Structure 1
Amino acid sequence: MTAPPAILVAVPAHDEQSSVVTCVRAVLAAVRVALDAGQIRSATIGVAAHRCTDRTAARASAVLEFSTLPDHVTGVVARDEIPSRVGAVRARLIDRLAALPGPSTDWVLSTDADSIVPENWVTDLMRIGASRGADALAGPVELVGWHGSQEALQRYRAIVAAGMTSDGHRHVYAANLAVRMAAYRAVGGFRAVEHGEEHALLNDLRAASFRVVPVLRPVVQTSSRLRGRAPGGLADLLRSLHEDQRLGASSGTAS
């Protein structure tokens, strides 16, 4: 019988003091559920406080380093002051977590500091990964806290709908991603690209004939803010949709 996997969860954060505690607590809750269900045997949870000027590191440490964690769970807050893209931040954090003493990592899970994973996040990803023989799983997100126009929100939903397929979807979100460590290592991990490091990783995996499976659950809640921390990310897309709609409305009124 195959032993349950050991996992690591990587969470990059840049000036996320308002959301990082909620994010980390949600990850911890999901890890506890998976441990209790026997879906994993251990977990290492890490937050990379990348060039933070606020209390992100201190607040993450209060949860991961200065509180009592469940057995078989390790928490790390890594202060990262190297100027670089978020893909490189993710990669450095994963390397650091994987090098810690303990069981060899079987799966890498990724989320973002402005996101909230559900309690079934780890359990469902590990169960689906095993049942479908996946090397990587790409899950969906749900926007929360939308403050833009309804027209822009409808345009975003249309983009999401256009990416749905008969067997899943074509979307990739770093806030809801899982990759087998062996596959991750084989393709060199997250690239230090301008943006879209999660897309680059899955493209590399497919090119190397690894099995990438899009899944419709679990769903991760993510911030719908219009000013993000990483250029070219979801926030930039949402802002462009909102601003395009405002410009269109202004043009229509002027004519």
Structure 2
Amino acid sequence: MIGVVIPAHNEECHITACLSSVLSAAAHPALARRKITVVVVLDDCSDRTGEIVLALGVSGINVCFKNVGRARATGADYLLDAGAQWLAFTDADTVVPQDWLARQIEFGADAVCGTVVVDSWEEHGELVRSKYMEHYQFVENHRHIHGANLGLSAEAYRKAGGFQHSAAHEDVHLVANLERIAAQIVWTATNPVVTSARRNFKCHGGFGEYLAKLGISLGMPVLNTKVSAGISL
């Protein structure tokens, strides 16, 4: 069984596209003999996200953590209890490719760290896009870590101690623990996901804030109160 975990906080504008892509990935012919369960962890949602998840026939877990690490861990625990042997993680503002899950399984590794592609740079502009592209590597054996594009075996997840209940960088901590236990990690750019570059991001310390701080370094105004300008890039 393959389990997919998606944390969500008020994502009614993005969750349909996200789940449609995940369900398409779950229907890949290479996975025909596998059971695949998708769960959305609805963290303090006050909009229609839960209704949309239900309408699409996907399981939802209602929590009030306001903590993405704990939300991911809760979804993982739910799927492990259900018998999942592989766990895949993405975000509610992200669209995955049709072969996303199939590629993860195909590698035969303990964990797979994939890359992300930004959906649109319209809110940031060309200067931020150029600055970002100076540092991002769309190559094999990159070292980028994204909770929006991560997969690992249930055994590796348990051995590494799972996700910490942290409000940010829970993915980085998990991968560090995977390296500590000498897990076999594939760093690939062959299964990129498309994620939002919105400036009204939801997670402090995450990808959205990183892009916002790139903008600050280039003299752009702060539009999100979650941005901690004092944190260096």
TM-score, scaled to structure 1:
0.82
Matches within 5 A, 1:158-173: 158-161=134-137, 167-173=140-146
Post-superposition offset of 1:40: 5.1
Post-superposition offset of 1:123: 1.1
Point out where structure 2 has 5 or more consecutive residues left out of the alignment.
222-233
For residues 145 and 51 of structure 1, the distance between their equivalents in structure 2, rounded to whole angstroms, comes to 27
Counterpart amino acid of residue 213 in structure 2: S
Post-superposition, which runs of at least 4 consecutive aligned residues in structure 1 deviate over 6 A?
none
Q: Deviations over 1:143-194 (max 9, x none)?
A: 0122212111111111213xx67x5201011111001001101121011124
Q: Check whether the contact 1:12–1:50 (CA below 8 A) recurs between aligned residues.
A: yes
Q: Check whether the contact 2:85–2:153 (CA below 8 A) recurs between aligned residues.
A: yes
Residue 154 of structure 1 corresponds to: 130
For residues 194 and 121 of structure 1, the distance between their equivalents in structure 2, rounded to whole angstroms, comes to 26
Residue 84 of structure 2 corresponds to: 105
Counterpart amino acid of residue 136 in structure 1: A
For residues 233 and 240 of structure 1, the distance between their equivalents in structure 2, rounded to whole angstroms, comes to 11
Residue 211 of structure 1 corresponds to: 184
Matches within 5 A, 1:85-234: 85-100=67-82, 104-128=83-107, 130=108, 134-146=109-121, 147-161=123-137, 167-234=140-207
For residues 165 and 33 of structure 2, the distance between their equivalents in structure 1, rounded to whole angstroms, comes to 30
For residues 199 and 177 of structure 2, the distance between their equivalents in structure 1, rounded to whole angstroms, comes to 29
Q: 1:76 aligns with which of 32, 56, 59?
A: 59
Residue 228 of structure 2 corresponds to: none
For residues 185 and 200 of structure 2, the distance between their equivalents in structure 1, rounded to whole angstroms, comes to 30
Post-superposition offset of 1:7: 0.5
Post-superposition offset of 1:124: 1.1
Asked whether 1:46 is paired with 2:21, we answer no
For residues 87 and 31 of structure 2, the distance between their equivalents in structure 1, rounded to whole angstroms, comes to 17
Q: Aligned residue pairs: how many?
A: 220
Greater gyration radius = 1
Secondary structure of residue in 2 paired with 1:96? helix
Q: Greater helix share, 1 or 2?
A: 1
